[in-house]
Amino acid sequence: MKIYLLFQPHFRLIYLFIWGLVVSGLKTISWLSALNIGVMFAFILMILIRKKVFLRYFKRWLNLLIFLALMWATLTWRIGENGIEWYRQGIQLAEILTLRMNLLLFSLWLFLWNMNEITFIQALGKLPLPEKLVQLFVLTIRYIALLGELRQKMDWAMRARGYQPKFNYRTLYVTAQSVALLLVHALLKAEMSQIALKCRGFQFGRKKEKNADR
């Protein structure tokens, strides 16, 4: 058996799932720190070898860091008998969650290296998953990408009209309108998908009933 066959996309999804279970069970700070350093070093080395642009990964990592900062702001203190005080258990929990989430993010990038949406869907089809779950993944991946393109077009249109986001009421109002428009568009897409599935004869539970009659 050739070694490269073990790194096919559907096998990598299985490895990622098992690795996620292992990481979620780790509570030792030293182990998590060592794994973080190793995985981050491997990922940076992979970027340098493949000559990829690190900026787009850095933007996503920055979003995670902002979320982790907000998590630290809520878990590290509490209101006790003497007023506001540091919460030691909360600090330990924040440290573990920070290391776990950072490790899972870089592990996700490594395991799914050079795997686009089409390859991901094909890999899911090779796994022993229920057919309805695979179809749900397909619809989710497809329309998340479409909504992302729509949000980008809306952003371009607003900037072309001189819109500049600031910390004021106008920015909050425009942001709320854009989010509402995205939700309405997502609802319309979901209804269109449901109509298309019904036109193709797709009915939940129909396959099991046929098998039962046989």
Domain ranges of the chain: 2-115, 129-200
In this predicted structure, what is the pLDDT of residue 197? 66
125-159: burial string, b at 16+ Cβ within 10 Å, e else: eeeeeeeeeeeeeeeeeebeeeeeebeeeeeeebe
This prediction has a pTM of 0.69
Average pLDDT (107-123) is: 84
In this predicted structure, what is the pLDDT of residue 206? 45
Rounded Cα–Cα distance for residues 12 and 30 (Å): 26
pLDDT bucket at 21, cuts 50 / 70 / 90: very high
Of the listed ranges 25-34, 53-62, 68-77, 89-98, the least confidently predicted one is: 53-62
